[in-house]
Amino acid sequence: MIEIVEQDAEAWSVVGPDLAAVVERAATAALGRVEGEVVVLLTDDAGVRDLNARFRGRDTATNVLSFPAAEGAGDLLGDIALASGVCRAEAEAQGKTLADHLSHLVVHGVLHLLGRDHEDEAEAEAMEAEERLILASLGVADPYRPNADA
């Protein structure tokens, strides 16, 4: 199950009326056959900055944060938070639609909840390859190719 919490609905509304469907589709594709719950927080830059400062010691907004659930949390795999302003600016700078960029970041966040990482080059390459496959299945262009949608 994918639960979507919108705290900055106006900023995210540019994705359109399919916002929830975009998030659910990307999260479901990333989960594959894994059963579990994911909570997706669509918030503003200040909300993500606060989370990043409190939980990672970094007083800055970032595009996406993933918080794996604690042991014994039942079906909950974890939470993902996305910053509207950062995501919008990145999509514009990269010549992508916000919906496609959001799909990529949701997939990226879910993969982190599933234990994937990009701390070293080999991990990064493996995670990016998995993201490309998942996104291609959703009709989203390779997010690592410059100006993929331009």
Strand 76-83 and strand 64-68: the pairing is antiparallel
Pair of tokens at residue 85: 């302003």
pLDDT (tens digit, 9 = 90+) per residue, 52-111? 999 999 999 999 999 999 888 889 999 999 999 999 999 999 999 999 999 999 999 999
Domain boundaries, the chain: 2-137
pLDDT (tens digit, 9 = 90+) per residue, 34-60? 989 999 999 999 999 999 999 999 999
- Distances 64 to 13, 45, 107, 111, 150 between C-alpha atoms, Å: 18, 10, 10, 12, 23
CATH homologous superfamily of 2-137 equals: Metalloproteases ("zincins"), catalytic domain (3.40.390.30)
Q: Are 11 and 44 in contact (CB under 8 A)?
A: yes
